[in-house]
Structure formats: C-alpha cells, structure tokens
C-alpha cells in the first residue's frame, strides 16, 4: 500500500511540472490553468478581464464583468505519459448581481488520476480504487472605484490518493482542506497617461492560502500550493473590427520546504519562500508571455500564441502555446495546444477544449476609439 501511495504522489509532482526530490506542495492540480483561452496565451491572464475563468486567474476580474456565463473545459491531461484515464475537467459559471454591485462566480475542478491497483505487503493484488482530486470554489468580484476591482475566492478541496491506512500510521490517504484567494485588478479609464486608458490591465492574485493538507498524520502534512501571480495586459491595437492584446504573467510558489522535508506553515512560508538570496528568488519565478487577436464586432474569431518558461532547477517546463476561438451568438468554442521544447515531456501535445454559453449581451469586441469632443468656438 505504501508503494502505491508513493507512486500516486510521484504522478502528482509531475502534474505540477515541479520535479523536486521531495515535492514542494500537496494538491498541485490547483495550479493547472483551467481554460483554453488563457492556456493558449502561454498560461497568462492575471491582468485581463475575460470570462468566468477569472475565478482562477484573477477573481477581481469578475468585478468588471456583467451578464452571466457557463463554461466547461476538458483536457486529456499529460498525454506524454500514455495514461488514457488521466484527464482534467473544469466547470465555471458567473452571474452579475446588481444588488451586490458585483459578480458571483462558482467553479468545480476535477482531476481524474485513474484506477490504482492495491497490493499487500507481498505484492499480491487485493483490489483497486479510483484516485482523483477535486475542488469546489465560490468567488466574488466588485469594483471599489471606477478603475480598481477586488476579488475573493473560498475553496473546498478533496483529494483521494488511497483508501486504506498505511501500516502503523493514522491516515487513510484521503484529505480535505479549505483555502481562499485575494486579488486586485487595475484597469485605468481616465488618467493623464492616455495611452493606458481602456487598454492596460495590472493584476495581482494571491491564491491557495490555507492550512496544510494531511493524508497520513499531522507530522507528515504538506502545504497547499500557495501562489502569487502578477500579470500585465495591454491592447496594443484597437479598431472597430480588430483587437490585438499582449500579456505577461509572473508567478511564484510561496512554499518553503527545508532539507529535512519539513515545511513552514502558510503564514511563514509566504515570507520565508523569498529567502536564499536574489538568485534563488529569481529562479523560483515562472515567466510567461502571450498575444491574442480578435476579429469581428461582436467577437467572431480569435487567435493566440504564447511562451512559458520555468528554471531548469525548478521544474524545467518550457513550452510554446497556440490557441484559437470561434463565437456565434451566445455560444463560444476555445482550443489550445502545448508544444514542449523538451522532447518526450509529459506535457507535450496537451490539448484543452472549452465550450461556453453567454447569457445577455454578446462579448464586447474592440472598443471604438472615443470621439474627441471639439470645443465650441466663440461666435464673433
């Protein structure tokens, strides 16, 4: 049983792309980009206002959205491993509530790890069980000023890696936990720097804040993947039927794992994870850039591309992303593809597919340039 549990945990470490000898955190599925749209832009989106997936990238983005939407994403996860029953699903919805002066969001995340064969201490098969991770999140975003939004998410986490306790230990291999996210998004609309107005976005999201996850006992508890994201977005070109946006995201895992395997609690790890010198901090930051083009008014066809980079000592993920979208009336379809730089990487050829339904007005396209008001000349 112990060997099975370790094998499952090893798979989970690969899922997060962080190849450490000990692994940095539990439930790394919480770090998987959930939707095709942002995945196609190099896994960026913290500085953008998109859709219900803002629940993941930046809940404050919900505060800038109106109407209602439901979307579902499916991905045959890590096809490079050749496991047909390993897949990822994400269901999200949002609804603007005028009385609350903001937008509510709900999401369900599910990672199916597959069927695990149980063996006894002699290696004899004694049964099997389904291993999976799941999370239910509820969020809210609102504007505190015309240009500044804030958001919060509360999340219930359930992880099932085993069904029987390991000999001599207390746990069952199943864990429950709670976490929350805090975020802000600035979208200037009227500043002295006119080149930023209605074009620029700056966001920050501190996610997965909560107590450690316990599968076995408290002495072997693992921290949640508390993560800090900073994102930028800029509409470099706008016209009536065309819009081109450039994005960049920077993310850092706020987890401190010591050489003896012990980890700091979240209230310490947020700060101690920045230790080890500037070189260590820079290596721990993931960087990604992306571009998105939309044609049509309202939106009709979208194309995306991006690049994701992680230091070789911190996971060695390095890949190019591509994506496309089509909109028709209230319906939308998004697609994304990962092309890894490293050959035979588990993430190679990963696909995501997203279907969405929007209720209310069609998604806004490119904003028409504001007409300059001409001052009336005094009559002579």
Counted residue by residue, the chain has a size of 380
**Domain-embedded: residue 18:** yes
Q: Which of 204-208, 236-240, 246-250 has the lowest mean pLDDT?
A: 236-240
CA gap 66, 49 in Å, rounded: 11
pLDDT digits (tens, 9 = 90+) for 145-158: 999 999 999 999 99
CATH number of 35's domain: 2.40.160.40
- pLDDT band with cut points at 50, 70 and 90 for residue 123: confident
The answer as to whether 378 is a domain residue is: no
- pTM of the entire predicted model: 0.87
**Which pLDDT value is given to residue 343?**
82
Classify residue 237: in a domain, yes or no.
yes
Poorest-confidence range of 14-18, 286-290, 326-330, 363-367?
14-18
Exposed / middle / buried, residue 104 (Cβ in 10 Å: 0-12, 13-18, 19+):
middle
Number of domains in the chain: 1
Band (83; pLDDT cuts 50, 70, 90): confident
pLDDT category of residue 377 using cuts at 50, 70 and 90: very low
Interval 104-118: pLDDT, tens: 999 999 999 988 887
Lowest mean pLDDT among 30-39, 98-107, 170-179: 170-179
Predicted pLDDT at 167: 55
| Mean pLDDT score, 293-297 | 94
User: In sequence order, which residues have a C-beta less than 8 Å from that of residue 74 and are 6 or more positions away?
Assistant: 87, 88, 89, 352, 353
Query: What number is the average pLDDT over the span 230-257?
Result: 94
Least confident of 18-27, 29-38, 90-99, 311-320: 18-27
CA distances from 362 to 147, 195, 201, 332 (A): 22, 26, 22, 10
pLDDT band of residue 265 (cuts 50, 70, 90) is confident
CA gap 169, 178 in Å, rounded: 23
Q: By residue range, what is the domain housing residue 347?
A: 2-359
Q: Which of 61, 44, 49 minimizes the C-alpha distance to 150? A: 61
- Give helix then strand counts, H and E, for the chain: 5, 14
Note whether residue 367 is domain-resident.
Answer: no
Residue 269 lies in a domain: yes
Amino acid 94: pLDDT: 96
pLDDT in tens, 302-338: 999 999 999 988 878 999 999 999 999 999 999 999 9
**Residue 373 belongs to some domain of the structure:** no
Does any domain span residue 270?
yes
362 pLDDT tier (thresholds 50, 70, 90)? low
CA distance 89 to 82: 18
End-to-end CA distance of the chain: 94
Domain presence at residue 180: yes
Overall average pLDDT of the 276-285 stretch: 89
């Amino acid at each position: 049983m112990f060997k099975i549990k370790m094998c499952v945990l090893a798979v989970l470490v690969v899922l997060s792309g962080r190849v450490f000898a000990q692994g940095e955190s539990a439930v790394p599925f919480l770090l998987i980009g959930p939707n095709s749209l942002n995945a196609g832009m190099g896994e960026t989106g913290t500085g953008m206002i998109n859709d219900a997936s803002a629940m993941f990238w930046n809940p404050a983005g919900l505060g800038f959205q109106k109407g209602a939407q439901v979307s579902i994403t499916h991905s045959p996860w890590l096809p490079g491993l050749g496991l047909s029953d390993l897949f990822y699903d994400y269901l999200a919805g949002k609804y603007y509530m005028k009385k609350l002066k903001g937008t509510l969001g709900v999401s369900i995340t599910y990672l199916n790890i597959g069927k695990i064969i149980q063996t006894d201490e002699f290696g004899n098969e004694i049964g099997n069980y389904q291993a999976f991770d799941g999370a239910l999140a509820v969020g809210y975003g609102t504007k505190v000023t015309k240009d500044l939004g804030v958001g919060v998410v509360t999340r219930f986490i359930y992880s099932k890696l085993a069904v029987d306790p390991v000999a001599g230990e207390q746990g069952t291999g199943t864990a429950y936990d709670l976490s929350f996210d805090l975020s802000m998004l600035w979208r200037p609309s009227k500043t002295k720097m006119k080149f930023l107005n209605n074009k620029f976005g700056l966001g920050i999201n501190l996610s997965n804040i909560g107590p450690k996850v316990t599968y076995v006992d408290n002495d072997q508890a693992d921290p949640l993947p508390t993560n800090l994201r900073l994102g930028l977005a800029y509409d470099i070109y706008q016209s009536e039927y065309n819009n081109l946006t450039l994005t960049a995201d920077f993310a850092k895992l706020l987890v401190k794992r010591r050489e003896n395997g012990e980890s700091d609690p979240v209230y310490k790890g947020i700060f101690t994870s920045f230790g080890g010198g500037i070189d260590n901090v820079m290596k721990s930051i993931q960087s990604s850039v992306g571009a998105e083009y939309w044609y049509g008014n309202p939106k009709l066809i979208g194309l995306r591309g991006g690049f994701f980079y992680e230091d070789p000592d911190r996971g060695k993920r390095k890949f190019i992303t591509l994506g496309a979208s089509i909109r028709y009336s209230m319906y939308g379809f998004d697609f994304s593809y990962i092309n890894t730089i490293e050959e035979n990487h588990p993430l190679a050829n990963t696909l995501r597919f997203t279907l969405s339904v929007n209720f209310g007005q069609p998604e806004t396209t490119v904003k028409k340039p504001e007409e300059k008001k001409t001052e009336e000349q005094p009559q002579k």
